[in-house]
Amino acid sequence: MSGAGKEPYLARRTFAIISHPDAGKTTLTEKLLLGGGAIRAAGQVRARGERRRARSDWMKIEQERGISVSSSVMTFERDGILFNLLDTPGHEDFSEDTYRTLTAVDAAIMVIDAAKGIETQTRKLFEVCRLRDIPIITFINKIDREGRHPMEVIDEIQEALALDVAPMSWPVGMGSDFFGVFDHIGNRFFTSSEGRGGALDTIKKVEGLEDPELVGELFDNIREELEENVELGGAGYPEFDRESFLEGHLTPVFFGSALRDYGIDQLLDFIAEHAPAPHSQPATGGRVITPDEKKVTGFVFKVQANMDPKHRDRIAFVRLCSGTFKRGMKLKHVRAGKPITVSAPIFFFAEEREIAEKAYPGDVIGVPNHGQLRVGDTLSEGEEIHVTGLPAFAPEILRRVRLTDTMRVKQMRRGLEDLAEEGLVQIFKPAIGTNWIVGVVGVLQLDVVVDRLKAEYQTEIGFETAMYNTARWIECEDKLKLDKFLETNRANVALDRDDKPVYLFKNAWEVSYVGEKNSDIGFRETREIVHTS
Ligand code: G4P
């Protein structure tokens, strides 16, 4: 089932990790990379102090370890399977970027802190995965610490997320009693020779729970619970069902400790065996792009400006949907209607960036460019087609930009445009007045914008409260009606960076009031980023 040895794309696993801050995403990431042989030295990633920066976890790793790690994609190979792990900067710097990255994956690992259960960010990210039917693998982390009873956490997942859960392993003791993890699918017991609480160093292959290896006080104490859970039905949980997992109805649950290495290999084995190969991609005109098509198509899900502060270049991250990409290929940049020769595509291996000679569906290549490529753009071998399903979200916080040194308007605008291109902020240009309005989803993004404009564009800005607190994209099939509406509402209308009109609202009441008064106009909370112009 692993797909190794067949069509190359069948051996691709493209996934992301979603979690609430501090659940252990960075630690797990590093351990997966170590487990996959992508990085060599062991050591823990520490991220203190940098949390509020718009740095992705890769950059934290990069800083900590002094190695060159891409900020967005991590590719490694293990037993003939190529893993593409996409970073979702879903922490305090939560932004649209996170959502869009999830459009480029085929599965996600949801990391949960055993003591905390489902937290706000986990839920938000989970909802995005559910919208896109992305299969979710659950990793309940930190079982080496005092946590809640495993059953309590599992039941919470089941109820809070309305999802079937299939435990794939079970912890033996927790916190100071932590003794190991029993993998009842593979009949393996993971434990430490140091005894309770030690790091993983022993894997015992056992013959079920009756195995003579499994004796001792701790085992005896929880034997009944283990037995119940090995016979899942008895504990009220369904058995793992691959179909149901792939449809996003059931999540396999692994218990582990990223810090102490429990559960890592099991996760990698599971992804290799059961996580889906690259999926089909919906596109305009009702077309569905399948990975086995011969011609290349791909879409930009992320753009990162200033990868190298010395050069104002950017990297567009392109997820391939079909065909075999070869270096030097001439592809059509569909929005611009122009060909683009991809002569120096980048592959993101952990310790180095390599020029990609060939890439397959599921892979992500970095395409250096000077700003032509934008999030949502499609590249094809000539076909006039746009990949769909990459949304822009209405911001929840709007601020007017205040410039300290008015001589730097140009730099400020350029910086804001670049950051908007990365998906960190949205910018709105009011129909009346010249001060731009910046929209974000989380308030900490504002600090990040200030920091980055200062560091990368040598421009100091501040923010003032705008009198608005949310925006909606305005839509109307009837062009005359739309123009009339825009004209009479100039005071509240602005254009987004793609020149699409938005209505700026003062409060939720106004959203419904204006909506009711103008029932022939649509006010949308999200907008598809499809560039058809
Ligand atoms: P994040 O990326 O999701 O924000 O989490 P990160 O990996 O940075 O982990 C957050 C903290 O939790 C780290 O502690 C990390 O060492 C710890 N941690 C991660 N996995 C485990 C685990 O399996 N067991 C235990 N006991 N701890 C784990 P920290 O940065 O050292 O500081 P602090 O937050 O403990 O103060």
pLDDT tops 90 at residue 59: no
Q: What's the pLDDT at 66? A: 36
- Geometric angle at alpha carbon 14, from 10 and 15, rounded to 5°: 140
Q: What is the pLDDT of residues 317-326, one digit of tens each?
A: 999 999 999 9
Q: Is position 522 within any domain?
A: yes
Residue 21 labelled as part of a binding site: yes
Q: Average pLDDT, whole number, for the chain?
A: 84
Q: Rounded to whole angstroms, how far apart are CA atoms 520 and 475? A: 9
Predicted confidence at residue 355, as pLDDT, reads 62
In this structure, the answer to whether residues 39 and 122 fall within a common structural domain is yes
User: Which residues neighbour 463 within 8 Å (Cβ) at sequence distance 6 or greater?
Assistant: 399, 400, 401, 402, 438, 446, 450
CA distance 151 to 117: 11
pLDDT of 354-391, one tens digit each? 566 789 999 998 888 888 898 889 999 999 999 988 87
Choosing from 347, 380, 413, the residue where a domain stops is 380
- The pLDDT > 90 percentage for the chain reads 49
Looking at the fold, whether 100 and 203 belong to one and the same domain comes out as yes
How many CB atoms lie under 10 A from the CB of residue 37?
Answer: 12
**Which pLDDT value is given to residue 179?**
86
Q: Which of 17, 20, 22, 28 to mutate to test the pocket of ligand 1 (most atoms within 8 A of CB)?
A: 22
Q: Is 40 in the pocket of ligand 1 (CB under 6 A)?
A: no
Ligand 1 binding pocket includes 46 (Cβ within 6 Å): yes
**Inside any domain, residue 450:** yes
Domain count for the chain = 3
Confidence band for 68, pLDDT divided at 50, 70 and 90? very low
Domain-located, residue 386: no
Q: State which residues form the domain around 329.
A: 281-380
128-144 mean pLDDT: 93
Please state which of the ranges 267-281, 392-406, 471-485 shows the lowest mean pLDDT.
Answer: 392-406
For residue 533, being part of any structural domain is answered with no
Name the domain boundary from 380, 404, 439. 380
φ and ψ of 311, to 5 deg: -115, 135
> Whose structure tokens read 């990633």?
45
- Within 13 A of 258's CA, how many CA atoms are on the CB side? 27
Atom of ligand 1 nearest to the CA of 21: 4
1 part of a folded domain: no
Asked, for residue 182, whether it belongs to a domain, the answer is yes
- Do both 165 and 197 map to the same domain? yes
Question: Do 143 and 218 have their domain in common?
Answer: yes
Distance in Å, CA 35 to ligand 1 centroid: 18
How does DSSP assign 322-374, residue by residue? ES-EETT-EEEETTTTEEEE--S-EEEBSS-EEE-SEE-TT-EEEEEESS---
Question: At 397, which helix (H) or strand (E)?
Answer: strand 397-403
Q: What pTM was computed for the model?
A: 0.83
Same domain, 124 and 79: yes
Residues 58 and 186 both lie in one domain: yes
User: Taking 70 as the threshold, does the pLDDT of residue 198 lie above it?
Assistant: yes
Same domain, 319 and 431: no
Return the bridge partners of 463, or none: 401
Type of residue found at 477: E
Q: Is the CB of 472 under 6 A from ligand 1?
A: no
- Residue 68 marked in a binding site: no
Q: Clarify whether residues 396 and 425 are in a common domain.
A: yes
CA of 26 to the centre of ligand 1 (A): 8
Our answer on whether the CB atom of 259 is closer than 6 Å to any ligand 1 atom is yes
409 and 366 share a domain?
A: no
Q: How far apart are the CA of 442 and the centre of ligand 1, in A?
A: 23
Nearest to 432 by CA among 489, 381, 393: 489
Asked whether 25 lines ligand 1 (CB < 6 A), one says yes
DSSP characters over 181-229:
EEETTTTEEEE-TT-TTPPP-EEEE-SGGG-TTS-SHHHHHHHHHHHHH
Q: Residue 241 is inside which H or E element, if any? A: none
Nearest alpha-carbon partner for 264 in 38, 47, 90 = 38
Query: Given pLDDT bands bounded at 50, 70 and 90, which one contains residue 309?
Result: low
What proportions of the chain, in percent to the nearest 5, are helix, strand and coil?
Answer: 30, 30, 40
Cα of 309 from ligand 1 centre, angstroms: 30
Q: What is the pLDDT of residues 508-527, one digit of tens each?
A: 899 999 999 999 999 998 88
Q: Residue 95 has what pLDDT?
A: 61
The verdict on residue 356 lying in a domain is yes
Quick one: pLDDT at residue 402?
A: 92
Q: Is the CB of 87 under 6 A from ligand 1?
A: no
Ligand 1 neighbour 145 (Cβ under 6 A): yes
Last-in-domain residue among 380, 408, 438:
380
